[in-house]
Structure 1
């Protein structure tokens, strides 16, 4: 199963196995290059990155009993003043080990393989200031997937003049490392994934997102770098459906994108009357024979003047994340569409959406089918 909440998303191994024509238990181990790499961003700005440890003392953790506060890790990508310094790591060594050891095919690879992945952001470099601040994009990853899996998008957005906040929804990721090295693992609905778990995750992520926005607004460092009147949210899988559920309820989020996320529930609390776009694999095309009917059920509740429904031929669930390029580099099964190509498509359409709705720049790419991207169908 690729994009619904089920036991198959409890670990990366089963997400990847969904892409394989060979049963996971029959697969042999693979070898991979010593260094994996993400595609470079294409915008005009250099990119910086820093990590924030935030604690919400107003609510207990919703997934683990006895924890009286909600702890979050948030990565901030931003236009940088200049190049130089240490390159920001992709994940921590602890996170890399838990991801790698969760994939039977990778059992012979060094545990820190993913920690060495080449990224393109300087760690904690000085931010480039802009009068009025940069538009803000909030990123929410798929269930069990670290926030790092949206790095290719985050670096692209930052290079094109956005400040980006990627939220790690604690206990909803296979591994989350806090300052000092303490690492926690996946707990959300561990006893069983159900539509109820999906609905709860959307509520939890809404609260996480509003808390992060509050903290950024109160921060002397980040408040001056953000244009609070121009905020969008982009999510993958559960993160995408959560963005859709939050959009009509939030007074701050002006637009949202769902990347291949199934809806739980399929009817939002309020109609979506703000700019909204959903991009998915062919299982999500209209009237897809019951393969995933949640998009058909959700679409009538998208009532705004601007909305788009796109599907990408050859795409799989992870084609909209970094795993599109990392899987082949690790010797793992890949989607029918080339990973570099699927990342290029996702970057192009989501950046066009952000430029249109947060910067007011006309985007012909979103007006109809494009010869540049014949894989994309617009409904």
Structure 2
């Protein structure tokens, strides 16, 4: 599902004058957060969506524990990215500069906080049409808890991807007739390429990352790609699917490493409209959990609903974005802490009174 699904969650009739500033909820960990942008070029592959553009290019937003919170705050989106995203979602009532100027917590170029043997790495893969920035809330929170985070900008798969030289690409993969099998293969290759580059000896992050502790968290089509990337790359020890339909079926041999399925109650239950989770569940042979969140929207597992709430354009009845982000952060962090750090997590053992919206299946 593309970012245009956001439009279904919003009602212009309920819109109020936009606020002076939007803000991503601050991270909950005790570390300050640094950030940097990487422009990576895979010379071994032509771009699958726009072959005439040349080799496959990616932009990766890095987040990491910082020694001190110095440097300029990270820009959420460029003005052009915001303009493209809002136009794709038919939201003329939100000024592009308002969305572009969203306040976040990460500081550009802040010095990393060194750690012996490095930190676990969490790779984030956004939904189709969704700029990588829409996972900022999750990325900053994980970094504040002691993770290095790589939010991958899959080129030509988002409504606006800005490169360091200033040029912006649009979504060539979006629209009818999408080949989901090809998309899954592209995502898998992108993730493995990013891992190769981040853990290479000449990488500026080589000493900051523990290569034995890598997790992949995907939303929507990024969630679909998570178990497939795990099958293709044994370095990925644990995977999270945030409300992603399994467009590409898992092989009968299945996946033998830990997987968390976290999605909407309305779609992802054994009797819900999406049969791919029940069909895929028996093929997950390692540690696994299947959780649904009552009232959550598809993009509630990103920053979108939290920001749209602040802008006054969220459809009534949708779970508040701040609460959806709180739950997403808590359960993703618990899962990664359990499987990458070996820390027991009672939150994943069953329902808790403080989170009545979260249901355990099957």
TM bucket (normalised to shorter chain) is over 0.9
CA contact under 8 A between 2:217 and 2:241: conserved in structure 1? yes
Cα deviation, residue 351, structure 1: 0.4
Q: 1:186 to 1:368 in 2, by over 3 A?
A: same
In structure 1, distance between residues paired with 2:274 and 2:129: 20
Whether the 8 Å CA contact 2:309–2:320 is kept in 1: the answer is no
Of 368-377 and 323-332, more deviation after overlay is shown by 323-332
Query: Within 5 A, what are the aligned runs for 1:241-260?
Result: 241-260=224-243
Aligned residue runs from structure 1 range 134-173, under 5 A: 134-173=119-158
Greater shift, 279-288 or 210-219, is seen at: 279-288
Specify whether residues 307 and 86 from structure 1 end up closer, same or farther in structure 2 by C-alpha distance, changes over 3 A only: same
Q: Could you give the per-residue CA deviations for residues 165-203 of structure 1, whole angstroms, max 9, x where no partner exists?
A: 00011000000111221111010154x244xx2221111
Do residues 81 (structure 1) and 67 (structure 2) align? yes
Question: 212, 220, 234: which one pairs with 1:237?
Answer: 220
CA contact (8 A) 1:263 1:294 kept: yes
SS of the equivalent of 1:308 reads strand
Structure 1 unaligned blocks of 5 or more = none
Partner SS for 1:202: helix
SS at match of 1:73: strand
Equivalent residues of 1:78, 1:162 under 8 A apart? yes
What CA deviation, in whole Å up to 9, does each residue of 1:45-73 have, x standing for no partner?
A: 00001000000110100001312200100
Q: Is the 8 A contact 1:309 1:378 kept in 2?
A: yes
Instruction: Report the equivalent of 2:303.
Output: 322
Structure 1 residue 30: deviation in Å? 5.2
- TM-score, normalised by the number of residues in structure 2: 0.95
Are residue 64 (structure 1) and residue 50 (structure 2) matched? yes
Secondary structure class of the residue paired with 1:378: strand
**Are 2:336 and 1:346 aligned?**
no
- Aligned mates of 1:84, 1:39 — CA distance in 2: 19
Distance in 2 of aligned mates of 1:54 and 1:85 = 23
Number of residue-to-residue matches in the alignment: 359
Corresponding residue for residue 184 of structure 2 = 202
CA distance in 1, matches of 2:138, 2:265: 21
1:283 aligns with 2:266: yes
Alpha-carbon contact 1:248-1:270 (below 8 Å) kept: no
Cα pair 1:16 1:333 within 8 Å, conserved = no
In structure 2, do the counterparts of structure 1 residues 76 and 270 end up closer, same or farther at CA, with 3 Å as the change threshold?
farther
Counterpart of 1:187 (choices 148, 158, 172) is 172
Q: In 2 relative to 1, CA 269–67 (structure 1 residues): closer, same or farther, beyond 3 Å?
A: farther
* CA distance in 1: counterparts of 2:16 and 2:184, whole angstroms: 36
Q: Distance in 2 between matches of 1:285 and 1:119?
A: 31
SS in 1 for 2:326: helix
Q: 1:93 aligns with which of 73, 79, 91?
A: 79
**CA–CA distance in structure 1, aligned partners of residues 227 and 113 of structure 2:** 31
Of 18, 32, 36, the match for 2:22:
36
1:75/1:167 contact within 8 Å kept: yes
8 Å Cα contact 1:101/1:111 also seen in 2:
no
Contact 1:284 1:295 in 2 (8 A): no
Q: Quick check: 2:129–2:174 contact (8 Å CA) kept in 1?
A: no
How far apart are the structure 1 equivalents of 2:112 and 2:51? 39
Residues 214-225 of structure 1: pairs in structure 2 closer than 5 A: 214-218=196-200, 219-225=202-208
CA-atom RMSD in angstroms: 1.6
> What is the CA–CA distance in structure 2 between the aligned matches of 1:223 and 1:213, rounded to whole Å?
10
Question: 1 CA distance for matches of 2:253 and 2:226?
Answer: 13
Contact 1:268 / 1:298 at 8 angstroms: preserved in 2? Answer: no
TM-score normalised over the length of structure 1: 0.91
User: For residues 369 and 15 of structure 1, what CA distance do their matches in structure 2 show?
Assistant: 29
